[in-house]
Amino acid sequence: MKKTVDVVHLDVCYGAHQILEAVSFSASPGEMIGICGPNGSGKTTLLKAMSRIVAPSAGEVYYNGQNMDALSFRMLAQRVAVVPQETAINFDYTVREIVMMGRHPYIGRFSSESRHDHAICDRVMQLAKVSSLADMPVNAISGGERQRVLIARALAQEPDILLLDEATSHLDISHQIEILTIIRKEMEETTTLSVFHDINLAAYYCDRIILLKDQLIEAIGTPAEVLTRDLIRSVYGINVIVSIHPTTGRPYILPVYESIPEEEKGCRVHVVCGGGLGSPLLRRLHQKGCTVTAGIVTILDSDYATATDLGIQTVIEAPFAPISDYASSILTGYLEKADLIVLVAMPVGSGNLDNLRLLYGQAMKTMVLGHIGSFDDHTGGEAEQILRDLLKEGAEEAESFDQILQRVFELCDKND
C-alpha cells in the first residue's frame, strides 16, 4: 500500500538562514503524527512546506505517490486541509460561510453548493459545536470559537491529509480533548500531522511523534520510543520524569524542578514510603522547595527512581534484604533533623518493619498519610500495633496531600 505522505530530504531556507535540513519521513492513511520540538526548531515551517505556503530549497513532498508540485491548487485543496495557529479574517463572513469554504474545491466555478455540501457543513458544525453560531459574523465570536470554526472548515474539506499547526492551543482543555477525539474518530482514513507544544497531549493522541531539534529530526517513533528522559533532555534541555499512565499505558512527562540552594530552602521533610506510593508526595514537596529526604527503600522501588530523578537524598537497601544497622543509623539521622516526618500508607513486611519501629520517639512530628487500614500489613498485626502506638504518642492522621502541605506551610512560616 502506498504511503499517503512521503517527505524526502526536505530543506527549507529563509534567505541565508536554514530552517529545515534533510527532513525525511513517511505517514500512512489514518495515522496521526505529532510534531514536537522547542521554539525555532522548524515545526510550523515543516507544515508550510507541506502545504506549498513556502517553497522548499531542496527535497520533495509526495501525496499518494504524486509530487506535490505537480498538483493543481484545486487538487491540492481537495487532498490537504490546513488549520493554522491564527487566521486573520478581514471580512464579516458568517460562521456557516467560513465552514462552506471547505467545500469550494469540490464546487465548479459556475455552480452552487449542493444539498450534499450543506449536509456536510451542518454535520461538521455540529461536531465542532459551532452550530449555534452559524449565522453570526465570524469576527463577532471569541478566539476559541473562531478556532473551532476553522477546524470545522477543515473537516468539511474531507481531506486525505490534515495539517494542524497548534490548532487546539487557543482552546481550553475540554475543547482540546473534544476536538482531537473528533479528529481521531471521524477522520479514520485521514493522515494527520499536528504541531504540539503540549507533549502529554501528543503522547495521548499520536501514533508516532517527530522530535525536531536544530532544524533536524532528532527522533521519530512511537510515544514510548521518543519520549524518553534522555531524548527530552537532549531536545529541550530539561530534566523530566517519564512515567507510564496506568489507564492508557502511554508515557506522560513531569518536569523536574531545579534544586533550590540549601540556604533558600524551606523546612526539612522526611518521607517514609515504598511501593511507588510516595512518589506523588515526593514530587509535590520538591516543587514546594522543601529539603526532602526519603527511605528506607530498595533500589528496585519506583519511589527510589522518583527520588533519584528529583535529586532527593534517600536511604536505600538491597532488594529482598532486611534493613541493615547502617541504613537504620542513616535513617535515624534524617528523622532527627526533619521538621516533619510523613509516613505513607504502604506495604509493610518483616523486611521493612524497622521503617516503622524507628519512628518511636518521633511521633509528635509525624503525620500518617492514610489510615491504619490503608497499610498492607504482612507482619501478623505487628505493623498495625506500631501504628496505633504512634497515634497514641501524638502522630497525626492526614487524609490528603493538602493536609500535609498545609503543615509544611505552617512550619515554613514558623522557621522564617
**Confidence (pLDDT) at 9:** 95
Is the per-residue pLDDT at 2 higher than 70? no
% of residues, the chain, pLDDT over 70? 94
Q: Is the pLDDT of residue 264 over 50?
A: no
- Mean pLDDT within 195-223: 94
pLDDT at 6: 93
For residue range 87-139, list pLDDT tens digits in order: 667 788 899 999 999 998 888 776 788 899 999 999 999 988 899 999 999 88
Side-chain half-sphere CA neighbours of 283 within 13 A: 17
Q: Which domains does the chain have, with CATH numbers?
A: 5-254 (3.40.50.300), 262-415 (3.40.50.450)
Q: Given this model, what pLDDT does residue 1 score?
A: 47
Most confident listed range (145-149, 209-213, 350-354): 209-213
Per-residue pLDDT, 256: 57
CB 371 within 8 Å of CB 342: no
What per-residue confidence (pLDDT) applies to 265? 52
220: which DSSP letter? E
Per-residue buried b or exposed e for 58-72, using 16+ beta carbons within 10 Å of the residue's own CB: ebebbbeeeebeebe
Dump strand ranges (E) for 200-255. Answer: 208-213, 216-221, 240-244, 251-255
Q: Which of 160-174, 203-217, 275-289, 316-330 has the highest mean pLDDT?
A: 203-217
Q: Answer whether residue 60 shows pLDDT above 60.
A: yes
Q: For residue 79, what are the CA distances in angstroms to 68, 298, 310?
A: 10, 56, 47
Mean pLDDT on 338-357: 89
Under the banding of pLDDT at 50, 70 and 90, the label for residue 413 is: low
- Determine the pLDDT at residue 107: 84
Q: Alpha carbon 262 to chain centroid distance?
A: 30
Residue of 40 and 220 predicted with greater confidence = 220
Q: Which three cell numbers stand for residue 323?
A: 534493613
Query: What is the reported pLDDT for 325?
Result: 86
Q: Are 120 and 105 in contact, with CB atoms under 8 Å apart?
A: no
DSSP 43-59: HHHHHHHHTTSS--SEE
pTM of the entire predicted model:
0.65
Average pLDDT, the chain: 87
